[in-house]
Amino acid sequence: MSQSFNPTPRTLMGPGPSDVHPRVLSALGRPTIGHLDPEFVSMMDEVKGLLQYAFQTKNELTIPVSAPGSAGMETCFVNLIEPGDKVVVCQNGVFGGRMKENVERIGATAIMVEDEWGKPVDPQKVEDALKANPDAKAVAFVHAETSTGACSDVKTLCALAHKHNCVTIVDTVTSLGGSELRVDDWGVDAVYSGSQKCLSCTPGISPVSFNERAIEIIKNRKTKVQSWFMDLNLVMGYWGANTKRAYHHTAPINALYALHEALVMLKEEGLENAWQRHMHNHLALRAGLEAMGLSFIVEEKYRLPQLNSVTIPDGVEEVKVRAQLLKEFNLEIGAGLGALAGKVWRVGLMGYSSRAENILLCLSALEAVLSELGANINTGVAIAAAQKQLSG
Ligand SMILES: *Cc1c(COP(=O)(O)O)cnc(C)c1O
């Protein structure tokens, strides 16, 4: 006989999902009601307003896509890009590569602007690509590269794109709620994010937002959006203001209760306070890791507070360390991806995971496991260094 599934509670300090706040988990268990029920519809309106706050935008078309961050990415690309278009795609980690894949599957051309993994997108290279391709329609890039921990300059890149008459598509999956993001002030035209990183929510929902410039492009398409599910012209009939809420698909009702709760919590904390909390905790983790003798691969001024890529001590089998952290401490940290596989650990401090007790657990567990494996680290100093920073 099959039994109920009861996972062991873990502390999630990888690249996402992050720890889900208990308030969000309990929201998931509330009674399921119909997705056209007036009570649900008014909650949908609140979710839109709360997302506008999180994104710092007045965009009317600000909605949660009923699928994970990757679907938000695809929603942006399939609606804005048509076969034959040219898109400048910036790649400085894993996710820029996915953007390229999206562009090419549409039958459009990706002009790649590549930077080393761990470095931000270089605006000069973007400008060069735009000058060499005056017919480009869009510029796409990742704000917070989760595969490396590097942060790119959204405001500068958007200004460049607009100077060359391009619309911007920006990945903010890991930045939303964790580091400064101002969609309207920074001129972001189309943006997508995810529920499971700095919003402390369960995975599976992708907030997106489109401004007037983006909507104009979508309205003037020559071809139909090839994805029925993601076609915003149809989705708008369900989520749009002053529409009759025509049935499009069944919304993930309980998952949206969870997102609503997570966004209410963000509002209660205050967006800028949330950004500050992520930075404050990052500095404490950093103090501890550096005291131990580990170092960061991203230059300080481009470092993301919510994703810490750190070096692995010489001679240590990194897979073994992560397995032991999980087994002995129920603690998950992330492995390196792509070009950084085997070279770094990625320690996430996202959303509800970004708190003092997690930092102290991570430092003491890592120290215990590394010592046990005979790694050459400084012992007995990490916790004090972190605590000093935490209380400072
Ligand atoms: C996690 C992530 C995604 C993908 O989100 P999923 O919810 O896993 O589909 C996209 N971009 C970035 C930068 C991410 O960190």
Residues 213-237 pLDDT 10s: 999 999 999 999 999 999 999 888 7
**What does the pLDDT look like over 22-81, one tens digit per residue?**
999 999 999 999 988 999 999 999 999 999 999 999 999 999 999 999 999 999 999 999
Domains of the chain in start order, with CATH, are 20-268 (3.40.640.10), 271-391 (3.90.1150.10)
Q: Is the CB of 115 under 6 A from ligand 1?
A: no
Of residues 248 and 181, more confidence is placed in 181
Residue 368 main-chain phi, psi, to 5 deg: -60, -45
| 187, pLDDT greater than 70 | yes
Does residue 203 have its Cβ closer than 6 Å to ligand 1? yes
Instruction: Using the predicted structure, report yes or no on whether residue 241 has a pLDDT greater than 70.
Output: no
Cα three-residue angle 95-198-309, rounded to 5 degrees: 55
Cα–Cα nearest to 11, from 364, 288, 326, 283 = 326
- For ligand 1, the distance from its centroid to the CA atom of residue 98, given in whole angstroms, is 10
Q: What is the pLDDT of residues 76-113, one digit of tens each?
A: 999 999 999 999 999 999 999 999 999 999 999 999 99
Average pLDDT, the chain: 96
Does any ligand 1 atom lie closer than 6 A to the CB of residue 187? no
Q: In angstroms, rounded to a whole number, what is the distance separating the alpha carbons of residues 259 and 336?
A: 29
State in Å: Cα 146 to ligand 1 middle. Answer: 8
Confidence of residue 243 (pLDDT cuts 50, 70, 90): low
**Residue 392 pLDDT:** 81
pLDDT tens string 195-219: 999 999 999 999 999 999 999 999 9
- Angle (nearest 5°) at CA 81 between 80 and 85: 140
pLDDT of 186 above 80: yes
- Cα 39 to averaged position of ligand 1 atoms, centre (Å): 31
Global pTM exceeds 0.95: yes
With b for 16 or more beta-carbon neighbours within 10 A and e for fewer, the 151-171 pattern comes to bbbbeebbebbeebebbbbbb
Q: Give the mean pLDDT of 187-193.
A: 98
